[in-house]
Amino acid sequence: MLKALFIDLSGVLYEGNKVIPGAVAAIEKARASQLQLRFVTNTSRKTRDQLLNDLKNLGFELQEEELFTAPVAVHGWLQEKKIRPYCLIHHNIKSEFADLLQTDPNAVVIGDAEQDFCYDKLNRAFQLCQQGAVLVGIGCNRYFKLDGQLQLDAGPFIKAIEFAASTKAIIIGKPSKDFFLQALASTGLSADQVLMIGDDIYGDIEGAIHSGLHAGLVRTGKYQRGDEHKISAAHLTFDSIVDAVDYALLEQIKH
């Protein structure tokens, strides 16, 4: 029986600064039920505080402990292992990594660095990895949608450095199983009691299925016509978060 919803943020609850129609009411309905909610995101353009604040402004009230972000998970991992990163990350979240020693780097961290993805900085990242630095990806998303257009996310740049330096990145965030299991542990549930709802066929859907969760693809955000046929494993599809929540509530009544 379904006991929790894991929900992706961008493209599921909102797109840019626009709320997906019905999303605020859907989350309120879900919250009024027995379902546990977790919000699971690779977003690496905002700090956790900015994210909570922006969500509040859009009408979504989240508890800090409900929110699992890839940058926070990466930061925790670096801190625990006392690793000195060279950070190719968005300027908005540089403050979140500022407490880590970053001289003489022995790791390269790649997030959605946007304009920081330039030849000189990518070259530096490559040279460090070639000399043995660990490559860490804040998620491995292919693209996201902004201003109506698909834009390159961190994943392609991670693949570029992997190829150049003949190395394999450690991915922290979706679709990494560890990341899903970290969010799962906070619920006390088993994987098959959880439905992950997302718009990314690789990060959200395949990642969740690979981690033992159920998965539902929404046709909002970065969804492209035909995406559902690119996933071989069994999954659900919904027009939006509204239908996904209705489905979950109906499943509750059935059992």
The one-letter amino acid at 175: P
CB of 182 to a copy of itself, least distance (A): 25
When the beta carbons of 114 and 246 are compared against a copy of itself, the nearer one is: 114
CB of 145 to a copy of itself, least distance (A): 11
When the beta carbons of 159 and 219 are compared against a copy of itself, the nearer one is: 159
At 72, is the secondary structure helix, strand, or coil?
A: helix
When the beta carbons of 95 and 151 are compared against a copy of itself, the nearer one is: 151
Local structure of residue 10 (DSSP, 8 states): B
When the beta carbons of 57 and 166 are compared against a copy of itself, the nearer one is: 166
CB of 159 to a copy of itself, least distance (A): 4
When the beta carbons of 3 and 90 are compared against a copy of itself, the nearer one is: 90
| Among candidate residues 184, 175, 172, 173, the one with its CA nearest the CA of residue 210 | 175
CB of 156 to a copy of itself, least distance (A): 4
Query: Within 10 A of 9 (CB to CB), how many other CB atoms are there?
Result: 24
Site residues (vs a copy of itself, CB under 8 A): 113-120, 122-123, 126-127, 130, 142-143, 149-153, 155-157, 159-164, 166, 230
CB of 163 to a copy of itself, least distance (A): 4
Distances (CA, A) of 91 to 17, 30, 68, 201: 19, 34, 20, 27
Neighbouring residues of 250: CB distance < 8 A, sequence distance ≥ 6: none
Cα separation, 173 vs 138, in Å, equals: 6
